[in-house]
Structure 1
Protein backbone atom coordinates (compact mmCIF):
# COMPACT_ATOMS: atom_id res chain seq x y z
CA UNK A 1 0.00 0.00 0.00
CA UNK A 2 1.14 3.53 -0.71
CA UNK A 3 1.71 6.01 2.07
CA UNK A 4 -1.38 7.96 0.97
CA UNK A 5 -3.52 4.82 1.14
CA UNK A 6 -2.23 3.97 4.61
CA UNK A 7 -2.92 7.50 5.85
CA UNK A 8 -6.44 7.27 4.45
CA UNK A 9 -7.00 3.93 6.15
CA UNK A 10 -5.88 5.34 9.52
CA UNK A 11 -8.22 8.28 9.03
CA UNK A 12 -11.10 5.89 8.37
CA UNK A 13 -10.23 3.80 11.42
CA UNK A 14 -10.43 6.79 13.74
CA UNK A 15 -13.75 8.11 12.49
CA UNK A 16 -15.38 4.67 12.16
CA UNK A 17 -14.65 3.53 15.73
CA UNK A 18 -16.76 5.51 18.21
CA UNK A 19 -14.50 4.71 21.15
CA UNK A 20 -11.66 6.50 19.31
CA UNK A 21 -13.54 9.39 17.70
CA UNK A 22 -15.51 10.09 20.90
CA UNK A 23 -12.54 11.33 22.98
CA UNK A 24 -11.40 13.53 20.09
CA UNK A 25 -14.80 15.21 19.93
CA UNK A 26 -14.76 15.43 23.74
CA UNK A 27 -11.62 17.60 23.57
CA UNK A 28 -13.58 20.40 21.92
CA UNK A 29 -16.86 19.84 23.76
CA UNK A 30 -15.22 19.78 27.20
CA UNK A 31 -13.18 22.89 26.43
CA UNK A 32 -16.37 24.85 25.75
CA UNK A 33 -18.51 23.23 28.45
CA UNK A 34 -16.04 23.66 31.31
CA UNK A 35 -15.30 27.24 30.30
CA UNK A 36 -19.03 28.05 30.31
CA UNK A 37 -19.45 26.47 33.74
CA UNK A 38 -16.35 27.99 35.32
CA UNK A 39 -15.84 31.56 34.16
CA UNK A 40 -19.35 33.01 34.61
CA UNK A 41 -19.18 31.92 38.26
CA UNK A 42 -15.61 32.43 39.47
CA UNK A 43 -13.76 33.91 36.49
CA UNK A 44 -13.49 37.49 37.71
CA UNK A 45 -13.05 36.47 41.33
CA UNK A 46 -10.00 34.36 40.58
CA UNK A 47 -8.57 36.88 38.12
CA UNK A 48 -8.85 39.63 40.74
CA UNK A 49 -6.72 37.72 43.26
CA UNK A 50 -3.66 37.97 41.00
CA UNK A 51 -2.47 34.65 42.43
CA UNK A 52 -2.53 33.01 39.02
CA UNK A 53 -0.87 34.04 35.80
CA UNK A 54 -3.66 35.99 34.03
CA UNK A 55 -3.12 34.20 30.72
CA UNK A 56 -2.76 30.74 32.21
CA UNK A 57 -6.03 31.18 34.13
CA UNK A 58 -7.91 31.36 30.82
CA UNK A 59 -6.90 27.76 30.18
CA UNK A 60 -8.25 26.31 33.40
CA UNK A 61 -10.45 23.89 31.37
CA UNK A 62 -7.26 22.34 30.00
CA UNK A 63 -6.89 20.44 33.27
CA UNK A 64 -9.84 18.32 32.13
CA UNK A 65 -9.51 18.68 28.37
CA UNK A 66 -6.12 16.95 28.45
CA UNK A 67 -7.78 13.82 29.86
CA UNK A 68 -9.83 13.58 26.66
CA UNK A 69 -6.61 14.01 24.63
CA UNK A 70 -4.98 11.20 26.61
CA UNK A 71 -8.01 8.98 26.00
CA UNK A 72 -7.90 9.75 22.27
CA UNK A 73 -4.26 8.78 21.87
CA UNK A 74 -4.64 5.68 24.02
CA UNK A 75 -7.78 4.35 22.31
CA UNK A 76 -6.37 5.04 18.84
CA UNK A 77 -3.57 2.58 19.66
CA UNK A 78 -5.44 0.09 21.85
CA UNK A 79 -8.14 -0.41 19.22
CA UNK A 80 -5.50 -2.32 17.24
CA UNK A 81 -5.43 -4.99 19.96
CA UNK A 82 -9.16 -5.73 19.83
CA UNK A 83 -10.34 -8.85 18.00
CA UNK A 84 -7.05 -9.32 16.17
CA UNK A 85 -7.22 -5.94 14.44
CA UNK A 86 -3.43 -5.48 14.56
CA UNK A 87 -2.90 -8.75 12.72
CA UNK A 88 -5.20 -7.54 9.97
CA UNK A 89 -3.53 -4.13 9.88
CA UNK A 90 -0.07 -5.65 9.51
CA UNK A 91 -1.32 -8.07 6.87
CA UNK A 92 -2.55 -5.10 4.84
CA UNK A 93 0.54 -2.97 5.63
CA UNK A 94 3.53 -5.30 6.17
CA UNK A 95 5.87 -2.34 6.47
CA UNK A 96 5.48 -1.74 10.19
CA UNK A 97 7.29 1.57 10.09
CA UNK A 98 4.80 2.87 7.54
CA UNK A 99 1.84 1.59 9.57
CA UNK A 100 3.11 3.08 12.84
CA UNK A 101 4.22 6.37 11.30
CA UNK A 102 0.90 6.86 9.51
CA UNK A 103 -1.06 6.27 12.70
CA UNK A 104 1.14 8.69 14.66
CA UNK A 105 0.82 11.32 11.92
CA UNK A 106 -2.98 11.08 11.73
CA UNK A 107 -3.40 11.03 15.53
CA UNK A 108 -1.05 13.97 15.96
CA UNK A 109 -2.57 16.02 13.13
CA UNK A 110 -6.14 15.51 14.34
CA UNK A 111 -5.23 16.26 17.96
CA UNK A 112 -3.36 19.39 16.85
CA UNK A 113 -6.24 20.67 14.72
CA UNK A 114 -8.91 20.06 17.36
CA UNK A 115 -6.55 21.29 20.09
CA UNK A 116 -5.90 24.62 18.36
CA UNK A 117 -9.64 25.19 17.90
CA UNK A 118 -10.14 24.29 21.57
CA UNK A 119 -7.40 26.73 22.54
CA UNK A 120 -9.19 29.60 20.81
CA UNK A 121 -12.52 28.44 22.27
CA UNK A 122 -11.12 28.50 25.82
CA UNK A 123 -9.44 31.86 25.27
CA UNK A 124 -12.44 33.73 23.87
CA UNK A 125 -15.05 32.03 26.07
CA UNK A 126 -13.11 32.87 29.23
CA UNK A 127 -12.52 36.48 28.16
CA UNK A 128 -16.22 36.95 27.48
CA UNK A 129 -16.88 36.76 31.23
CA UNK A 130 -13.81 38.50 32.66
CA UNK A 131 -14.77 42.12 32.04
CA UNK A 132 -11.88 44.42 32.98
CA UNK A 133 -9.64 41.39 33.51
CA UNK A 134 -9.99 40.20 29.92
CA UNK A 135 -6.86 39.73 27.83
CA UNK A 136 -6.86 40.82 24.19
CA UNK A 137 -5.65 38.45 21.49
CA UNK A 138 -2.97 41.01 20.62
CA UNK A 139 -1.44 41.10 24.09
CA UNK A 140 1.94 39.41 24.68
CA UNK A 141 1.72 35.64 24.60
CA UNK A 142 -2.02 35.49 23.86
CA UNK A 143 -1.91 34.24 20.27
CA UNK A 144 1.02 31.94 21.10
CA UNK A 145 -0.99 30.37 23.91
CA UNK A 146 -3.97 29.57 21.67
CA UNK A 147 -1.81 27.65 19.21
CA UNK A 148 0.33 26.35 22.07
CA UNK A 149 -2.69 24.71 23.69
CA UNK A 150 -3.21 22.71 20.50
CA UNK A 151 0.44 21.76 20.30
CA UNK A 152 0.42 20.64 23.92
CA UNK A 153 -2.70 18.51 23.48
CA UNK A 154 -1.26 16.92 20.33
CA UNK A 155 1.94 15.96 22.16
CA UNK A 156 -0.02 14.55 25.10
CA UNK A 157 -2.12 12.47 22.69
CA UNK A 158 1.02 11.11 21.01
CA UNK A 159 2.59 10.44 24.40
CA UNK A 160 -0.40 8.32 25.41
CA UNK A 161 -0.48 6.61 22.01
CA UNK A 162 3.11 5.44 22.38
CA UNK A 163 2.44 4.13 25.88
CA UNK A 164 -0.72 2.35 24.70
CA UNK A 165 1.26 0.47 22.04
CA UNK A 166 3.80 -0.46 24.70
CA UNK A 167 1.23 -1.56 27.30
CA UNK A 168 -1.40 -2.83 24.80
CA UNK A 169 -4.17 -1.26 26.85
CA UNK A 170 -5.94 2.09 26.93
CA UNK A 171 -7.16 1.33 30.44
CA UNK A 172 -3.58 0.87 31.64
CA UNK A 173 -2.51 4.16 30.07
CA UNK A 174 -5.46 6.07 31.53
CA UNK A 175 -4.85 4.47 34.93
CA UNK A 176 -1.24 5.62 34.74
CA UNK A 177 -1.41 9.07 33.17
CA UNK A 178 -4.61 10.52 34.62
CA UNK A 179 -3.54 10.12 38.28
CA UNK A 180 -0.04 11.22 37.31
CA UNK A 181 -1.23 14.49 35.80
CA UNK A 182 -4.01 15.25 38.30
CA UNK A 183 -2.31 14.09 41.51
CA UNK A 184 1.34 13.03 41.27
CA UNK A 185 2.39 16.16 39.41
CA UNK A 186 1.05 18.38 42.20
CA UNK A 187 2.68 16.21 44.87
CA UNK A 188 6.05 16.50 43.15
CA UNK A 189 5.67 20.29 43.11
CA UNK A 190 5.32 20.20 46.89
CA UNK A 191 8.65 18.43 47.21
CA UNK A 192 10.66 20.04 44.44
CA UNK A 193 9.49 22.65 41.96
CA UNK A 194 12.74 22.20 40.05
CA UNK A 195 12.01 18.53 39.34
CA UNK A 196 8.32 19.16 38.65
CA UNK A 197 9.20 21.68 35.95
CA UNK A 198 10.54 18.85 33.79
CA UNK A 199 7.45 16.67 33.97
CA UNK A 200 5.60 16.41 30.63
CA UNK A 201 2.48 18.29 31.72
CA UNK A 202 4.22 21.02 33.71
CA UNK A 203 6.81 21.62 31.02
CA UNK A 204 4.37 21.75 28.12
CA UNK A 205 1.95 24.08 29.88
CA UNK A 206 4.64 26.77 30.12
CA UNK A 207 3.54 27.84 26.64
CA UNK A 208 0.26 29.02 28.19
CA UNK A 209 1.88 31.46 30.62
CA UNK A 210 2.33 35.17 30.07
CA UNK A 211 5.12 35.49 32.63
CA UNK A 212 7.66 32.74 33.28
CA UNK A 213 9.51 32.32 36.55
CA UNK A 214 10.75 28.71 36.32
CA UNK A 215 13.75 27.22 34.53
CA UNK A 216 11.81 26.63 31.30
CA UNK A 217 10.36 29.11 28.86
CA UNK A 218 7.38 28.57 26.55
CA UNK A 219 9.28 26.87 23.74
CA UNK A 220 11.85 25.03 25.83
CA UNK A 221 8.97 23.72 27.92
CA UNK A 222 7.04 22.41 24.93
CA UNK A 223 10.32 20.95 23.69
CA UNK A 224 10.64 18.93 26.91
CA UNK A 225 7.11 17.58 26.41
CA UNK A 226 8.03 16.71 22.83
CA UNK A 227 10.97 14.68 24.15
CA UNK A 228 8.64 12.78 26.50
CA UNK A 229 6.27 12.11 23.60
CA UNK A 230 9.15 11.05 21.37
CA UNK A 231 10.45 8.61 23.98
CA UNK A 232 6.98 7.08 24.38
CA UNK A 233 6.56 6.77 20.61
CA UNK A 234 9.94 5.05 20.33
CA UNK A 235 8.93 2.60 23.07
CA UNK A 236 5.68 1.91 21.25
CA UNK A 237 7.54 1.44 17.97
CA UNK A 238 9.86 -1.06 19.63
CA UNK A 239 6.82 -3.01 20.83
CA UNK A 240 5.22 -3.05 17.39
CA UNK A 241 8.44 -4.00 15.63
CA UNK A 242 9.84 -6.60 18.05
CA UNK A 243 6.95 -7.99 20.07
CA UNK A 244 3.61 -7.74 18.32
CA UNK A 245 2.61 -10.34 15.74
Structure 2
Protein backbone atom coordinates (compact mmCIF):
# COMPACT_ATOMS: atom_id res chain seq x y z
CA UNK A 1 0.00 0.00 0.00
CA UNK A 2 1.75 3.19 -1.18
CA UNK A 3 1.43 6.55 0.56
CA UNK A 4 0.42 8.13 -2.76
CA UNK A 5 -2.46 5.68 -3.11
CA UNK A 6 -3.65 6.38 0.44
CA UNK A 7 -3.42 10.14 -0.12
CA UNK A 8 -5.46 9.92 -3.32
CA UNK A 9 -8.21 7.82 -1.73
CA UNK A 10 -8.34 10.04 1.37
CA UNK A 11 -8.83 13.04 -0.91
CA UNK A 12 -11.71 11.23 -2.58
CA UNK A 13 -13.29 10.56 0.82
CA UNK A 14 -12.87 14.21 1.80
CA UNK A 15 -14.57 15.24 -1.44
CA UNK A 16 -17.54 13.02 -0.53
CA UNK A 17 -17.76 14.61 2.90
CA UNK A 18 -17.59 18.11 1.46
CA UNK A 19 -20.12 17.62 -1.31
CA UNK A 20 -22.74 15.31 0.21
CA UNK A 21 -25.32 17.23 2.23
CA UNK A 22 -26.16 14.33 4.55
CA UNK A 23 -22.61 14.25 5.90
CA UNK A 24 -21.89 17.97 5.80
CA UNK A 25 -24.96 19.06 7.80
CA UNK A 26 -24.14 17.08 10.97
CA UNK A 27 -20.63 18.55 10.97
CA UNK A 28 -22.07 22.06 10.86
CA UNK A 29 -24.39 21.19 13.74
CA UNK A 30 -21.62 19.92 16.05
CA UNK A 31 -20.40 23.39 17.20
CA UNK A 32 -23.90 24.88 17.03
CA UNK A 33 -25.37 22.24 19.33
CA UNK A 34 -22.34 22.07 21.64
CA UNK A 35 -22.09 25.82 22.20
CA UNK A 36 -25.85 26.35 22.36
CA UNK A 37 -26.52 23.59 24.89
CA UNK A 38 -23.46 24.58 26.90
CA UNK A 39 -24.58 28.21 27.19
CA UNK A 40 -28.17 27.31 28.08
CA UNK A 41 -27.03 24.80 30.69
CA UNK A 42 -24.58 27.18 32.33
CA UNK A 43 -27.00 30.12 32.25
CA UNK A 44 -29.50 27.89 34.05
CA UNK A 45 -26.84 26.85 36.57
CA UNK A 46 -25.92 30.50 37.22
CA UNK A 47 -29.55 31.33 37.88
CA UNK A 48 -29.84 28.37 40.24
CA UNK A 49 -26.73 29.49 42.15
CA UNK A 50 -28.03 33.05 42.44
CA UNK A 51 -31.37 31.79 43.76
CA UNK A 52 -29.66 29.22 46.00
CA UNK A 53 -31.92 26.65 44.41
CA UNK A 54 -31.91 23.12 45.78
CA UNK A 55 -32.26 21.88 42.23
CA UNK A 56 -28.58 22.58 41.60
CA UNK A 57 -26.56 19.40 41.91
CA UNK A 58 -24.49 19.36 45.12
CA UNK A 59 -21.46 18.15 43.17
CA UNK A 60 -21.74 20.97 40.59
CA UNK A 61 -18.32 21.90 39.22
CA UNK A 62 -17.98 24.88 36.86
CA UNK A 63 -15.10 23.22 35.01
CA UNK A 64 -17.17 20.13 34.26
CA UNK A 65 -20.10 22.33 33.25
CA UNK A 66 -17.98 23.77 30.45
CA UNK A 67 -18.18 20.46 28.58
CA UNK A 68 -21.87 19.61 29.00
CA UNK A 69 -22.61 20.91 25.51
CA UNK A 70 -19.82 18.79 24.05
CA UNK A 71 -21.45 15.62 25.37
CA UNK A 72 -24.65 16.49 23.52
CA UNK A 73 -22.82 17.73 20.44
CA UNK A 74 -21.17 14.36 20.02
CA UNK A 75 -24.57 12.94 18.99
CA UNK A 76 -24.38 14.91 15.75
CA UNK A 77 -20.79 13.76 15.20
CA UNK A 78 -21.96 10.16 15.64
CA UNK A 79 -24.65 10.84 13.03
CA UNK A 80 -21.97 12.18 10.67
CA UNK A 81 -19.90 8.99 11.03
CA UNK A 82 -22.87 6.69 10.49
CA UNK A 83 -24.12 8.61 7.45
CA UNK A 84 -20.62 8.74 5.96
CA UNK A 85 -20.52 4.94 5.94
CA UNK A 86 -24.12 3.80 5.58
CA UNK A 87 -25.30 6.30 2.97
CA UNK A 88 -23.15 4.52 0.40
CA UNK A 89 -24.79 1.18 1.21
CA UNK A 90 -28.27 2.69 1.09
CA UNK A 91 -27.70 4.32 -2.29
CA UNK A 92 -25.69 1.45 -3.78
CA UNK A 93 -22.70 3.75 -4.34
CA UNK A 94 -20.55 1.39 -2.30
CA UNK A 95 -20.20 -0.77 -5.43
CA UNK A 96 -18.78 2.19 -7.33
CA UNK A 97 -16.42 3.05 -4.47
CA UNK A 98 -15.10 -0.51 -4.21
CA UNK A 99 -14.75 -0.76 -7.97
CA UNK A 100 -12.60 2.39 -7.86
CA UNK A 101 -10.65 1.14 -4.82
CA UNK A 102 -10.69 -2.68 -4.91
CA UNK A 103 -8.21 -2.92 -2.03
CA UNK A 104 -10.73 -2.97 0.83
CA UNK A 105 -8.07 -2.46 3.46
CA UNK A 106 -6.96 0.73 1.72
CA UNK A 107 -10.57 1.83 1.33
CA UNK A 108 -11.32 1.30 5.04
CA UNK A 109 -8.10 3.01 6.14
CA UNK A 110 -8.79 6.01 3.92
CA UNK A 111 -12.28 6.39 5.37
CA UNK A 112 -10.89 6.16 8.91
CA UNK A 113 -8.23 8.75 8.10
CA UNK A 114 -10.69 11.16 6.49
CA UNK A 115 -13.32 10.79 9.21
CA UNK A 116 -10.77 11.09 12.02
CA UNK A 117 -9.11 14.13 10.48
CA UNK A 118 -12.40 15.92 9.92
CA UNK A 119 -13.64 15.00 13.41
CA UNK A 120 -10.49 16.41 15.02
CA UNK A 121 -10.69 19.54 12.86
CA UNK A 122 -14.25 20.11 14.06
CA UNK A 123 -13.61 19.01 17.65
CA UNK A 124 -10.83 21.47 18.52
CA UNK A 125 -12.70 24.75 17.86
CA UNK A 126 -15.95 23.24 19.12
CA UNK A 127 -14.48 22.25 22.48
CA UNK A 128 -12.71 25.53 23.15
CA UNK A 129 -15.60 27.70 21.94
CA UNK A 130 -18.06 25.67 24.00
CA UNK A 131 -15.91 25.90 27.11
CA UNK A 132 -15.32 29.65 26.83
CA UNK A 133 -18.97 30.40 25.99
CA UNK A 134 -20.18 28.22 28.87
CA UNK A 135 -17.87 29.88 31.38
CA UNK A 136 -19.02 33.28 30.16
CA UNK A 137 -22.63 32.19 30.75
CA UNK A 138 -21.69 31.22 34.32
CA UNK A 139 -20.54 34.81 34.90
CA UNK A 140 -18.77 35.23 38.26
CA UNK A 141 -18.97 31.48 38.89
CA UNK A 142 -17.07 30.56 35.75
CA UNK A 143 -13.45 29.48 35.57
CA UNK A 144 -10.68 30.26 33.11
CA UNK A 145 -8.82 27.87 30.88
CA UNK A 146 -5.73 28.54 32.98
CA UNK A 147 -7.32 26.82 35.96
CA UNK A 148 -5.42 23.61 36.87
CA UNK A 149 -6.91 20.70 35.00
CA UNK A 150 -8.91 22.80 32.54
CA UNK A 151 -6.55 22.52 29.58
CA UNK A 152 -6.10 18.78 30.20
CA UNK A 153 -9.88 18.36 30.22
CA UNK A 154 -10.22 20.38 26.99
CA UNK A 155 -7.63 18.23 25.22
CA UNK A 156 -9.42 15.16 26.57
CA UNK A 157 -12.71 16.46 25.16
CA UNK A 158 -11.11 16.81 21.69
CA UNK A 159 -9.83 13.22 21.88
CA UNK A 160 -13.23 12.08 23.16
CA UNK A 161 -15.10 13.52 20.18
CA UNK A 162 -12.57 12.20 17.66
CA UNK A 163 -12.43 8.67 19.05
CA UNK A 164 -16.22 8.43 19.45
CA UNK A 165 -16.53 9.42 15.79
CA UNK A 166 -14.10 6.68 14.76
CA UNK A 167 -15.83 4.18 17.03
CA UNK A 168 -19.05 5.03 15.20
CA UNK A 169 -17.36 4.52 11.82
CA UNK A 170 -16.41 1.01 12.94
CA UNK A 171 -19.90 0.19 14.19
CA UNK A 172 -21.51 1.58 11.02
CA UNK A 173 -19.15 -0.44 8.81
CA UNK A 174 -20.04 -3.55 10.81
CA UNK A 175 -23.82 -3.05 10.64
CA UNK A 176 -24.15 -1.32 7.23
CA UNK A 177 -27.55 0.11 8.22
CA UNK A 178 -28.16 3.72 9.22
CA UNK A 179 -31.14 2.83 11.43
CA UNK A 180 -29.41 -0.07 13.19
CA UNK A 181 -26.14 1.79 13.71
CA UNK A 182 -27.78 4.94 15.09
CA UNK A 183 -30.08 2.92 17.33
CA UNK A 184 -27.19 0.93 18.79
CA UNK A 185 -24.88 3.92 19.22
CA UNK A 186 -27.48 6.22 20.75
CA UNK A 187 -28.59 3.44 23.09
CA UNK A 188 -24.96 2.94 24.08
CA UNK A 189 -24.60 6.65 24.82
CA UNK A 190 -28.04 7.67 26.12
CA UNK A 191 -29.72 4.57 27.53
CA UNK A 192 -27.20 2.03 28.79
CA UNK A 193 -25.05 4.31 31.03
CA UNK A 194 -27.91 5.65 33.21
CA UNK A 195 -29.41 2.17 33.48
CA UNK A 196 -26.06 0.65 34.48
CA UNK A 197 -25.34 3.48 36.93
CA UNK A 198 -28.71 2.87 38.60
CA UNK A 199 -27.73 -0.71 39.43
CA UNK A 200 -25.12 -0.80 42.24
CA UNK A 201 -23.45 -3.93 40.92
CA UNK A 202 -22.99 -2.43 37.45
CA UNK A 203 -21.95 1.09 38.45
CA UNK A 204 -18.22 0.36 38.39
CA UNK A 205 -18.46 -1.57 35.12
CA UNK A 206 -20.33 1.35 33.52
CA UNK A 207 -17.17 3.46 33.68
CA UNK A 208 -15.66 1.19 31.06
CA UNK A 209 -18.34 1.79 28.44
CA UNK A 210 -16.87 3.82 25.54
CA UNK A 211 -18.87 6.99 26.13
CA UNK A 212 -18.43 6.87 29.90
CA UNK A 213 -14.68 6.33 29.65
CA UNK A 214 -14.50 9.28 27.24
CA UNK A 215 -16.51 11.44 29.63
CA UNK A 216 -13.87 10.81 32.31
CA UNK A 217 -11.35 12.59 30.08
CA UNK A 218 -13.30 15.85 30.49
CA UNK A 219 -13.80 15.80 34.25
CA UNK A 220 -11.97 17.96 36.78
CA UNK A 221 -11.83 15.05 39.24
CA UNK A 222 -12.25 11.85 37.20
CA UNK A 223 -13.02 8.58 38.96
CA UNK A 224 -11.04 6.79 36.25
CA UNK A 225 -7.51 8.08 35.67
CA UNK A 226 -7.34 10.01 32.36
CA UNK A 227 -4.64 7.71 31.00
CA UNK A 228 -6.76 4.63 31.69
CA UNK A 229 -9.88 6.33 30.36
CA UNK A 230 -8.10 7.14 27.10
CA UNK A 231 -6.81 3.57 26.85
CA UNK A 232 -10.31 2.14 27.37
CA UNK A 233 -11.89 4.41 24.76
CA UNK A 234 -9.04 3.72 22.31
CA UNK A 235 -9.48 -0.04 22.83
CA UNK A 236 -13.23 0.18 22.09
CA UNK A 237 -12.46 2.23 18.99
CA UNK A 238 -9.78 -0.16 17.73
CA UNK A 239 -12.08 -3.15 18.29
CA UNK A 240 -14.96 -1.51 16.40
CA UNK A 241 -12.71 -0.51 13.48
CA UNK A 242 -11.21 -4.00 13.30
CA UNK A 243 -14.68 -5.57 13.32
CA UNK A 244 -15.69 -3.19 10.55
CA UNK A 245 -12.61 -4.08 8.53
CA UNK A 246 -13.25 -7.83 8.84
CA UNK A 247 -16.87 -7.34 7.80
CA UNK A 248 -15.91 -5.18 4.82
CA UNK A 249 -13.31 -7.67 3.72
CA UNK A 250 -15.46 -10.76 4.21
CA UNK A 251 -18.85 -9.71 2.84
CA UNK A 252 -20.08 -8.68 -0.59
CA UNK A 253 -21.02 -5.04 -1.10
| TM superposition score category, shorter chain reference | over 0.9
1:146 maps to 154
Residue 183 (str. 1) matches residue 186 (str. 2): no
**Are residues 225 and 81 of structure 1, via their aligned partners in 2, closer, same or farther at CA, if it must alter by over 3 Å?**
same
Q: What secondary structure is seen at the aligned counterpart in 2 of 1:234?
A: helix
Q: What secondary structure is seen at the aligned counterpart in 2 of 1:2?
A: helix
Residue 23 of structure 2 is aligned with which of 1, 20, 38? 20
Q: Name stretches of at least 5 consecutive residues in structure 1 with no aligned partner.
A: none
Residue 204 (str. 1) matches residue 214 (str. 2): yes
Contact 1:165/1:239, CA 8 A, preserved across alignment: yes
- Give the Cα–Cα distance (whole angstroms) in 1 for the partners of residues 205 and 214 of structure 2: 14
Structure 1 residues 83-92 or 34-43, which shifts more? 34-43
- Give the Cα–Cα distance (whole angstroms) in 2 for the partners of residues 43 and 202 of structure 1: 26
Q: Name stretches of at least 5 consecutive residues in structure 2 with no aligned partner.
A: 51-55
2:5 maps to 2
Q: CA deviation at 1:50?
A: 4.3
Residue 80 of structure 2 is aligned with which of 72, 77, 81? 72
Contact 1:31/1:62, CA 8 A, preserved across alignment: yes
**Are residues 62 and 236 of structure 1, via their aligned partners in 2, closer, same or farther at CA, if it must alter by over 3 Å?**
same
**Are residues 46 and 13 of structure 1, via their aligned partners in 2, closer, same or farther at CA, if it must alter by over 3 Å?**
farther
Structure 1 residues 183-192 or 48-57, which shifts more? 48-57
Q: What secondary structure is seen at the aligned counterpart in 1 of 2:217?
A: helix
Residue 42 (str. 1) matches residue 45 (str. 2): yes
Residue 113 of structure 1 is aligned with which of 107, 121, 135? 121
Deviations 1:152-176 (A, max 9, x none): 0111111111111111112211111
2:227 maps to 219
Give the count of matched residue pairs: 243
- Give the Cα–Cα distance (whole angstroms) in 1 for the partners of residues 150 and 72 of structure 2: 21
Deviations 1:140-161 (A, max 9, x none): 1111222221210111111111
User: RMSD across aligned C-alpha pairs, in angstroms?
Assistant: 1.8
- Give the Cα–Cα distance (whole angstroms) in 1 for the partners of residues 154 and 8 of structure 2: 32
- Give the Cα–Cα distance (whole angstroms) in 2 for the partners of residues 93 and 180 of structure 1: 32
Q: CA deviation at 1:63?
A: 3.1
**Are residues 120 and 167 of structure 1, via their aligned partners in 2, closer, same or farther at CA, if it must alter by over 3 Å?**
same
Q: What secondary structure is seen at the aligned counterpart in 1 of 2:102?
A: coil
TM-score by length of 2: 0.90
- Give the Cα–Cα distance (whole angstroms) in 1 for the partners of residues 63 and 228 of structure 2: 18
Contact 1:188/1:196, CA 8 A, preserved across alignment: yes
Q: CA deviation at 1:44?
A: 5.4
Q: CA deviation at 1:240?
A: 0.7
Residue 32 (str. 1) matches residue 35 (str. 2): yes
